[in-house]
Amino acid sequence: MSSNRAPNKTVASNDRHGQEPSIDLSASPADEIKCTTCYMCACRCGIKVYLKNGKVRYIEGNRDHPVNKGVLCGKGSAGIMQHYAPSRLRAPLKRVGPRGSGEFKEISWEEALETASGWLGDIRKTDPRKLAFFTGRDQSQALTGWWCIQYGTPNFAAHGGFCSVNMAAAGLYTFGGSFWEFGEPDWDHTKYLMLFGVAEDHASNPIKIGLGKLKKRGAKVLAINPVRTGYGAIADEWLGLTPGTDGIFVGALIHELLRTQQVDLDYLVRYTNAPWLVIKNPGGDDDGLFARNDEGRPLAFDKATQSFVDAELADLKPALSGTFTLPDGRTAVPSFELLASRYLTAEYSPERAAKETGISADTIRRIAGELAEVAFKEEVVLDIPWTDWAGRRHDKMIGRPISMHAMRGISAHSNGFHTCRMIHVLQILLGTIDCPGGFRYKPPYPKPIPPPLKPHGKPDQVRASEPLGGPHLGFPTGPEDLLIGPDCKPTRIDKAFSWDAPLAAHGLMHMVITNAANADPYPIDLLFMYMANMSWNSSMNTSGVMEHLTAKDEATGEYKIPKIIYSDAYYSEMVPYADLILPDTTYLERWDCISLLDRPISDPDAAADAIRHPVVEPDRNVRGFQSVLIDLGARIGLPGFVNNDGSPKYPGGYSDYIVNHERAPGVGPLAGWRGKDGSQIHVGDPNPDQLNRYIENGGFFVDHFPDELRYHKHVNKGYLDYAAKSGWLPKDARLTFQLYNETFQRFRLAAKGKGSCPPPETHRKRIETFFDPLPFWYAPFEGTMVDTDKFPLYAITQRPMHMYHSWGSQNAWLRQITARNRLYIHTGRALELGLKDDDWIWISSNIGRVKCQIRTVEGVNRNTVWTWNALGKRSGAWGLDNDAPEATEGFLLNHLISELLPKRDGGYRFSNSDPVTGQAAWYDLRVAIEKAKPDEAGETSPRFEPLQSPINVETPEVLAFGTSFQEANR
Amino acid sequence: MHPAYSVIFFTTASGAGYGLLTWVAVATLARTAPTDWRFGLISLGLAFLLITGGLLSSTAHLGRPERAWRAMSQWRSSWLSREGVLAIATYVPAGLFGIAWVFFETTSGFISLLALLAALFAIATVYSTGMIYASLPTIKAWHQPWTVPVYIVLALASGGVLYLLIASFFDGANSWPLLLNALVLAAAFAIKRFYWQTLDTDHALPMRYAATGLEHLGRIRQIEPPHTQENFVMREMGYSIARKHAEKLRRLAMALMFAAPALCIVMMMVTGGFATTLLALIATAAMAVGLFTERWLFFAEARHISMVYYGQQAA
Amino acid sequence: MTCLPETTNKKLGLVIDLDICVGCQACATSCKEWNTGGYSAPLSDIDPYGADPHGAWLNRIHGYEVGEGDASRTVHFPRSCLHCETPACVTVCPTGASYKREEDGIVLVNPDTCIGCKLCSWACPYGAREYDSNHGVMKKCTLCVDRIYNEHLEERDRIPACVRACPTGARHYGDLGDPDSDVSKLVAERQGYDLMPELGYKPTNKYLPPRPRRDGTTATNQPAVEQPAPATGTTIENFFAWADKMLST
Ligand SMILES: Nc1nc2c(c(=O)[nH]1)N[C@H]1C(S)=C(S)[C@@H](COP(=O)(O)OP(=O)(O)OC[C@H]3O[C@@H](n4cnc5c(=O)[nH]c(N)nc54)[C@H](O)[C@@H]3O)O[C@H]1N2
Ligand SMILES: Nc1nc2c(c(=O)[nH]1)N[C@H]1C(S)=C(S)[C@@H](COP(=O)(O)OP(=O)(O)OC[C@H]3O[C@@H](n4cnc5c(=O)[nH]c(N)nc54)[C@H](O)[C@@H]3O)O[C@H]1N2
Ligand code: SF4
Ligand code: SF4
Ligand code: SF4
Ligand code: SF4
Ligand code: SF4
Ligand SMILES: [Mo]
């Protein structure tokens, strides 16, 4: 019996000859291939769409595209199922049942547009504030924002406020660029990458391409993250620190670098405000502000000439420490002395940091040593001559090859702004901004620090039937820029740019529904939303938000938010809460524009923008939202949307607008092929053939910089001139990194009662504390306000690489990969709690509880539990059966996250956000977990009434996509 | 492994059919079988029905039953193909043997050669069936010396009780057939026990294979399955049964396949007439249920090595 | 046909780098997308919008944790057909639908002759064969046989869909029979290995092991450069003294 082995019988080849079936090795995969831009997520990769028999056969990455260089991610490669999803909305809808039920009636576009323009027009004529227009995963903010400016409401923002405004603001107030998608590590030269709290990010493919390069080159990747998955899994080192403690970890690294005297002083002198003198006048009006000369220029003390000079002059030998008496008798110290003194205290010692972070002091010291080693002993030198802002010629580009990238692990905490700024300080002390091997700007960044844009929406800027006069979002530099009334009351519905969140550069979308329902600061008439699943995964306190959306005024029986218009392309959980639905197309069916005026797709070495164009025709009664918005603008006669005779200015819809709209003379949405003959870039007349030129070029435009412009952009004359010509920077700008930030001191002085505009009593202490001009670490709010003995665990989420928020679950392929989520908990911790793999448990926070199943793992901080984001679905949504695992076993942590903090002393409830920027503090959540009773196992909680579906499409029991291509292949 | 009812029915029914055919042929050769053409008709007819029914049922397991004929082509390498070829080939001597017996009432001379061939082909077919399983190195439970003997001996045991049942109508269920049957049952009992012993000791061994090549780094746990719902491989190969439950079923199978028929046979030795038939009927029924249980367990207890990729610790 | 060729002219296969794979699923979905409309069309999905969605995929990504505590690691592990040199999945096939190509060693199923008996899937130790219950035939990785020779594609795109998509560059494709090919060199350099070599199937595909980590468990504890012995004063004073000195030179 020993030979009962499958016989691996081989046969001489001539025996087999001719036996193999003949197969077509060269079947034509496409009748036509069209290049456009992916929108399975916001990374916006270039794609080639294979079309066969009028159907999408395959989607592949475009090798020439600056973003993805040919590769494609797990979502992008499942685009077919996104495009053909049965959950697609099919026609405009009018609500007929109660809000939230999902009972709708299909109506014509004419009726939909007339209804919408009726509502919009009435409000504009009376009180434009009563319109709140908020957009989610919007890639056309340049249009939606501009539309709202013309409309005149102050209430506009996109999703940045709940996403990562902490990153944007911290960077823009410090070095004129930012993490997020506005810069990236120098993947080709960096030798040491620190990744703080990144699971996926917007640069989904670029980060993966980059990590692949680093790993192959043997550069060290250090992942700092309570959770070890994805990027952390392949990192050379993983530091599973306690959530919300990155600030003190970075502070301790700074402490060590200073203590061991390893910082790039030269770089500090040349590129930062380290030498700028700060006035020391405790109790005075000018305390903590920069000493300035008569022209308002900041001063430094030049040791060469022993005099006070304009701190931004070239070739100074300024003092970085010491106390100086200014000519006018006031006392001042270089800002660097304040900075170094702060971080050299015991508060930032490795030992103290070890206590908070759970990372040993030895490890912190070792990491600091590694940073110093790589920065100062392994510099990268490129043989590229360049000229700096002062006209000095350098024959080489020299870099300290340490790069950092950080995202929501930092930003989604109430201390995220300061933590992110601290990371930038670390980068700057090491001298690694926009140098070979460092962190690089993507054009049009860098911008002036901060960008010279002020928010609009002050009481006198909002008038019936009038445009707003300027952009909604901007960068205040003092209390006078706040959008508040004389009573200090916020003028915006989300309280952005008020004392609640003075630097809310992206608004606070997460507060709009709650505030509107509470009429705090005032009620609104119409909530208009686009591409945001606000009744589900993009809200905090989801259950509460659903109640707000359906809350009625007891006296009148009317909804507290009287009207809601929403544009979605799919039957998401938000759709049933709207009164009027404007159904959008899929990304393969519409025109779009990925503009440099917006969130661009540039590469550090090139400016780039792109389009989407309809590669297939819609088979439903749907329209591209941007075209609809332009149509609405024309119907209500918004300036800029109509000609003098009242006729629509862009009758061709969005594609017409993309080509012909000019923001400033010669500056339009697209930078490529401008001018009548298409010969100009960035600035030039509209070119009627522009879109064809984009299509011919694969859907994008890219302008590669000459080598000389590639690095040191903030001080590189060649680049600064290019940026000025392109309209990105004022002429002759040179940017000085702001380690010490004066803007903050202005707010702080106001809190101390200085100046004309002090914050209300309830806010004073908060402003004084958190508007520290130097970044500092403090414990995230929730942990300081709830009983942490009762809620000992931190709870966070991560993005799955193959799902985009809520919209991946309707995809027949992606949902097979993950149709439900679990709560991950440390094996040892689970043991302590008497839990084992697969147990069903309750997670509770101070506002509610959620039931789910656990999985134990080693790769997580012991005090942290986590889950994949946005996998839980509501029954009835997304074209899924009511008993889909997403609804029965999937869950959201959002039910546990409060949008408001518990009452402070004064009885006021601040939003659960960063006190500086208003960034939603998703990851401050504290929870407890306990085992569910045996009879509770098996199903998630909470569950809601299944939604009725207005889409009358039978979902197939078997999907055999590709059958129709079968014939063609044989 | 997932116990598919069509396959269980196929292997048990056609096994019994081939077993019965073997018994009839051998008994005829040994001149102990009733020579009545009606015995020939009923016994060979039943064997034919069981074999054909089993074969037909096995095609229910196929994704493309209409192409089943293709399965005969790869006899050079595939035991399944060989099984198919032999199964069809068996019809020839068996059919001629039956025709000669029933229509020409002859079972001797050249016809006994046909009977011999039929028996040989029948055993060879069952051998091939066993080899289909035994030759798979991926399933340790099956890839062992006792798998093929189990198939053969259980075919003979189940065919044997059927033989007794039919023979009882013709006064043929006595002496030699009874004794032989008892011997076969005893052998079957022993062989099946050896099978289980081997399976149990093998299962107790730790995973020996470098499935992921990461084994040297420590214990491996799957923390993220490729897909959250079960896929084909998990449904087909991932079926498993709790040890305790299996133990119970094993005892049940042993009792029904061996103890009960053995008891019946012992009693048949001292009875006659209708009582013998009744006892044979009971033995047959017990055997049928027992065999079905055994075959179900054969699949349910077998673990496929690919499941280590899905987090199973040992294979 | 189910007899294996004595030798194949080439040994085309994949090399998968476990040191780089982040488990992003791009190779899995890209494989699904290409193949559902290609040689293996369709790769059916059952209950695609219901309670039990599952279907035929030719490439699946597992997430593992290995080892305990500080020494534990998370590893993503893509798994598809390894195009074995002596695979029982071919020899057990009763119809000849399963075969190994003499030309390049690719193991294929002929969807026109497969009867869907599933025996080959039992014979594959790697769980790499996937039965399409709707189509009634067995499916498996084809090494994108309809791409790698496809004259409709640009030459540089004549590689498997999964390799083409993989964003980190963790997947490589080439002739493992040629010792001078890039993939063979990579395997030699990085000590690529076979899965379950003990079974004797001789997989063509190779895996590159994750590299040792460079963390507290492995790093020589490189101490931070110590501050020069302070003459007098606090760390802060010494720091500014140093800064002052540095800037004066
Ligand atoms: N617990 C927890 N909650 C979070 C986060 C977290 O990390 N943890 N992250 C937060 C962050 S950063 C964000 S950005 C939000 C994201 O949350 P959302 O902005 O709500 O993102 P999606 O869920 O993708 O929903 C966007 C909506 O757009 C619709 N849509 C998709 N394609 C189109 C289209 O082509 N046209 C139109 N008109 N609509 C379309 C979708 O159907 C969906 O309803 O979630 C936030 N919520
Ligand atoms: N595939 C996919 N890609 C996406 C999205 C998606 O839904 N799917 N969404 C897009 C959007 S809107 C956004 S905003 C980006 C966000 O991209 P990421 O910033 O990568 O978003 P998250 O998944 O929230 O990852 C946050 C990471 O921070 C970790 N973390 C949490 N708290 C802390 C902490 O205190 N310190 C540290 N160091 N780490 C911490 C978490 O474990 C997690 O790994 O991704 C974008 N890209
Ligand atoms: S990262 Fe993926 S989903 Fe996002 S745009 Fe690129 S290919 Fe599309
Ligand atoms: S991996 Fe499995 S299916 Fe592929 S050749 Fe080897 S045994 Fe056959
Ligand atoms: S399922 Fe198809 S390929 Fe597999 S063994 Fe059966 S006939 Fe051959
Ligand atoms: S080679 Fe082709 S068929 Fe095989 S896993 Fe890759 S994409 Fe799928
Ligand atoms: S595409 Fe590449 S990185 Fe992503 S799972 Fe596949 S092999 Fe790993
Ligand atoms: Mo976001």
Asked whether the beta carbons of residue C94 and residue B71 sit closer than 8 angstroms, the reply is yes
Q: How far is Cα of residue A578 from the mean position of the Cα atoms in its chain?
A: 25
Strand partners, B79: none
- Tell me, what DSSP letter sits at residue B255? I
The token duo for B87 is 């199964």
A407 lines ligand 1 (CB under 6 A): no
Contact at 8 Å (CB) between C65 and C74? yes
What residues form DSSP beta bridges with A926? A794
Tokens, residue A471: 């952009």
User: Model confidence at B175, in pLDDT bands (50, 70, 90)?
Assistant: confident
DSSP three-state, residue A419:
helix
Residue of C nearest to B218 (CA): C67
Question: What's A166-231 look like in SS3?
Answer: HHHHHHHCCCCCCCCCCEEECCCCCCEEEEECCCCCCCHHHHHHHHHHHHHHCCEEEEECCECCHH
For residue C95, is it within any domain?
Answer: yes
For residue B220, the chain C residue with the least C-alpha distance is C66
Scanning chain B, the segments in alpha helix (DSSP H) are 5-29, 37-60, 79-104, 110-134, 147-169, 175-204, 232-237, 243-254, 260-270, 274-300
Distance CA(B34)–CA(B32), nearest Å, equals 7
Distance, in Å, from the CA atom of C26 to the CA atom of A962, rounded to the nearest integer, reads 19
Q: Which amino acid is at A465?
A: S
Q: Does the pLDDT of residue B120 top 70, yes or no? A: yes
pLDDT of residue C224: 53
B5: how many CB neighbours lie within 10 A of its CB?
13
Beta bridge partners, A929, equal: A843
How high is the pLDDT of residue A139? 87
Residue A172: partners with Cβ closer than 8 Å, 6 or more residues away: A178, A447, A449, A450, A451, A475, A505
Q: Which atom of ligand 6 is nearest to the CA of C32?
A: 8
The DSSP 8-state label assigned to residue A810 in this structure reads T
> CB C123 to CB B136 under 8 A?
yes
DSSP A131: E
C-alpha A164 to ligand 2 mean position (Å): 10
Whether A78 contacts chain C with CB within 8 A:
yes
Domain that holds residue C160: 12-214+225-248
Q: Is C6 inside any structural domain?
A: no
Residues of A in Cβ contact (< 8 Å) with C74: 228-229, 232-233, 859
- Chain A residues whose C-beta is within 8 A of a chain B C-beta are 1-2, 4-7, 9, 11, 816-820, 824, 855, 857, 885
B6 vs C: CB within 8 A: no
State the pLDDT at residue A11: 44
What is the ipTM metric for this complex?
0.96
**What is the per-residue pLDDT for A904?**
77
Distance between CA atoms of residues A74 and C29, nearest Å: 6
User: Searching chain A, which residue's CA lies closest to the CA of residue C210?
Assistant: A234
Chain C hits for A571, Cβ within 8 Å: none
Residue C220 in domain:
no
Ligand 3: list residues with CB < 6 Å: A 38, 40-41, 43-45, 68, 72-73, 75-76, 204-205
pLDDT tier, C1 (very low <50, low <70, confident <90, very high otherwise): low
Please give the average per-residue pLDDT across B124-152, as a whole number: 96
Judged by a CB distance cut-off of 8 A, whether residue B311 touches chain A is no
- Per-residue model confidence (pLDDT) at position A5: 41
Phi first, then psi: what are they for A930, rounded to 5°? -145, 155
Q: How far is the CA of C141 from the centre of ligand 5 (A)?
A: 14
**A617 vs A627: CA distance, rounded Å:** 15
Q: Which residues of C touch A938 (CB under 8 A)?
A: none
pLDDT of A3: 37
Any CB–CB contact under 8 A between B216 and chain C? no
Q: Which atom of ligand 3 is nearest to the CA of A44?
A: 5
Which helix (H) or strand (E) segment holds residue A106: the answer is: strand A104-106
Q: How many domains does chain C have?
A: 1
> Which residues from chain A sit within 8 angstroms of residue C153, using beta carbons?
29
Check residue A445 and give left, alpha or beta (phi > 0: left; psi -120 to 50: alpha).
beta
Nearest to B308 by CA among B204, B203, B207, B217: B207
Tens of pLDDT, residues B232-278: 999 999 998 998 999 999 999 999 999 999 999 999 999 888 899 99
Which DSSP string do the residues of A710-754 spell out, in sequence order?
SS-TTTBHHHHHHHHHTTSS-TT----B-SS-HHHHHHHHHHTT-
* Domain B5-308, architecture per CATH: Up-down Bundle (1.20)
- Touching chains, A (3+ CB pairs < 8 A): B, C
- Work out the mean pLDDT of chain C and round it to a whole number: 94
- A vs B, Cβ pairs < 8 A, gives 39
| Beta carbons of B222 and C68 less than 8 Å apart | no
Residue A82: list chain C partners with CB under 8 A: none
Chain A touched by B272 (CB under 8 Å) = no
Provide the token pair at A20: 């193999």
Q: Using alpha carbons only, how large is chain C's radius of gyration in Å?
A: 25
A363: which 2 tokens? 């490890």
* Cross-chain residue pair C6–A208, CB shorter than 8 Å: no
Residue B272, pLDDT score: 80
E strand map for chain C: 4-5, 12-17, 45-46, 54-55, 59-66, 73-80, 98-100, 107-109, 130-132, 137-139, 171-175, 206-208
Q: Rounded distance, CA B62 to CA C120, Å?
A: 13
Q: How close does chain B come to A824, measured CA to CA in Å?
A: 9
Spatial separation of the C-alpha atoms in residues A18 and C5, rounded to whole Å:
12
Q: How far apart are CA A27 and CA C146, in angstroms?
A: 7
Query: Could you tell me the distance, in angstroms and rounded to a whole number, from the CA of residue A436 to the centre of ligand 4?
Result: 46
Tokens 């004529």 belong to residue: A125
C-alpha of A128 from chain center: 28
In terms of CA atoms, which chain A residue is nearest residue C219? A366
CATH number of the domain encompassing residue C86: 3.30.70.20
pLDDT of res. C203: 98
Q: How many residues does chain B have?
A: 315
For residue C76, the ligand 7 atom closest to its alpha carbon is 8
Assess contact for B217 and C73: CB atoms under 8 A: yes
Residues 237-276 of chain B whose Cβ lies under 8 A from any Cβ of chain C: 237
Closest to B192 (Cα-Cα) out of B257, B107, B273, B115: B257
CA of A138 to the centre of ligand 7 (A): 28
- Ligand with minimal distance to C132 CA: 5
Q: Are C49 and A819 a contacting pair, CB within 8 Å?
A: no
Closest residue (by CA) to atom 8 of ligand 2? Answer: A804
Q: Would the pLDDT of C172 be above 60?
A: yes
Q: Which of A516, A560, A510, A563 is nearest to A537 (CA)?
A: A510
Which positions in chain B touch A1 (Cβ < 8 Å)?
134, 145, 148-149
Give C3's pLDDT tier (boundaries 50, 70, 90): confident
Cβ distance C193 to B213 less than 8 Å, yes or no, reads yes
Query: Residues lining ligand 4, judged by CB closer than 6 Å?
Result: C 81-84, 87, 89, 107, 124, 126, 128-129, 140, 201
- Averaged over successive runs of 10 residues, the pLDDT of chain A (970 residues) comes to 40 53 94 97 96 96 97 98 97 97 97 98 98 93 97 96 96 96 96 98 96 97 98 98 98 97 94 98 96 97 96 94 95 98 96 98 96 96 97 96 98 98 98 98 97 97 97 97 94 97 97 96 98 96 97 95 98 98 98 94 96 97 98 97 97 98 96 97 97 98 97 97 94 93 97 90 95 98 96 98 97 98 98 97 97 98 98 97 98 97 84 97 98 97 95 92 77
Q: Contact A433/A220 with Cβ under 8 angstroms?
A: no
CA dihedral C195, C197, C203, C206 (to 10 degrees): 50
* Nearest beta carbon to residue A212 from set C29, C49, C169: C169
Q: Establish if C154 belongs to a structural domain.
A: yes
Pairing of strands A10-11, C4-5: parallel
Q: How far is the CA of A159 from the centre of ligand 8 (A)?
A: 7
Whose atoms come closest to the Cα of A405: which ligand? 2
What is the pLDDT confidence band of residue B315, given thresholds at 50, 70 and 90?
very low
pLDDT tens for each residue of C184-199: 999 999 999 999 999 9
**Cis amide prior to B3 (ω within 30 degrees):** no
| Ligand 2 pocket member A407 (CB < 6 A) | yes
User: Has residue C140 been placed in a domain?
Assistant: yes
User: Mean pLDDT throughout C54-69?
Assistant: 97
C73 touches chain B (CB under 8 A): yes
C227 to chain B, closest Cα gap in Å: 39
- Probe target for ligand 5 pocket from C90, C92, C98, C112, with the most ligand atoms within 8 Å of CB: C98
Half-sphere exposure of A897 (CA within 13 A, CB side): 30
Q: Are A608 and A703 in contact (CB under 8 A)?
A: yes
Instruction: Using alpha carbons, select from A415, A436, A438 the residue that is nearest to residue A426.
Output: A438
Whole-angstrom CA distances from A839 to A50, A425, A792, B218, C73 are 45, 44, 19, 25, 23
Q: Which residues of A touch C43 (CB under 8 A)?
A: 962
Q: Do A857 and B223 touch (CB under 8 A)?
A: yes
Q: Is the per-residue pLDDT at B114 higher than 50?
A: yes
Using the mean position of ligand 7's atoms as its centre, give its distance from the Cα of residue C28 in Å: 8
Which residues sit with Cβ closer than 5 angstroms to ligand 8, an ion? Answer: A 163
- Sheet holding C12-17: strands in order across? C171-175, C12-17, C206-208
Task: Please say whether the beta carbons of A397 and A379 come within 8 A.
Answer: no
